[in-house]
Amino acid sequence: MKDNVILTGFMGTGKTSLGKLLATRLGRPFVDIDKKIEDEAHMSIPKIFEKFGEAHFRELEKAAVKELCEKRGLVIATGGGTIKDEENLLLLKNSGVMICLTTEPEEIFNRTARRGERPVLDGGGNERLETIKKLLAERKKFYDRADYQVDTTNWSPIQIIDDICKHLRQFS
């Protein structure tokens, strides 16, 4: 299968770590959109948010999506908010098979506990779990448009990768 495989989903669902494993399993190059943005900006994502604001980050994200969607054969991990932009969502979907990783909010809360790394959650203060639940509810309609969803809350990485590969075989 030459199409891209796109891993999307909320922060803390495992897009980057599972994307690397999946790419190794499939023998394909792996591209993480957040990392691509950081490498090209020579700056971390929290720093980009702090210096230039979220709107600028979203522009960089959009440019990265456009560039990557002209390619095929990649495993691409999106950022958690990449597909809330309709154009990004359509470009990514049309470039391959989109898999959405899901995780229970409490587990997302645990996995994203370190402050300073996820600027869209850091405004949440003590209400961080509520912020996660609110954003998940807002974004559900976008995540639901993926071709397939896998719940990563309780499964091991191997189980998740096996499950994704089983479903990818249906598209090949």
Please report, as ranges, the residues that interact with ligand S3P according to CB under 6 A. 11, 15, 34, 45, 79-81, 118-120
Give CA separation, 152 vs 18, 24, 42, 111, 149, in Å: 10, 19, 31, 12, 9
C-beta closer to ligand S3P: residue 79 or 96: 79
Q: How far is the CB of 79 from ligand S3P (least distance, A)?
A: 2
Q: Which two tokens stand for residue 130?
A: 């509520």
Q: Closer CB to ligand S3P, residue 11 or residue 76?
A: 11
| 59-70: b (≥16 Cβ within 10 Å) or e | ebbeebbeebbe
Q: Cβ of residue 45: shortest distance to ligand S3P, in angstroms?
A: 5
**Nearer to ligand S3P (CB atom), residue 1 or residue 153:** 153
Minimum Å gap between C-beta 127 and ligand S3P is 17
User: How many whole angstroms separate alpha carbon 172 and alpha carbon 168?
Assistant: 7
Dihedrals φ, ψ of 97, to 5°?
Answer: -100, 130
Q: Name which of 80 and 105 has its Cβ closer to ligand S3P.
A: 80
The 3-state DSSP class for residue 84 equals helix
* C-alpha distances out from residue 12 to 59, 86, 99, 100, 156, Å: 22, 22, 15, 12, 15
In the complex, what is the shortest distance from the CB of residue 129 to ligand S3P, in angstroms, rounded to a whole number? 15
Q: Which helix (H) or strand (E) holds 98?
A: strand 96-102
Closest distance of CB 44 from ligand S3P, Å: 10
Pick 16 or 167: Cβ nearer ligand S3P: 16
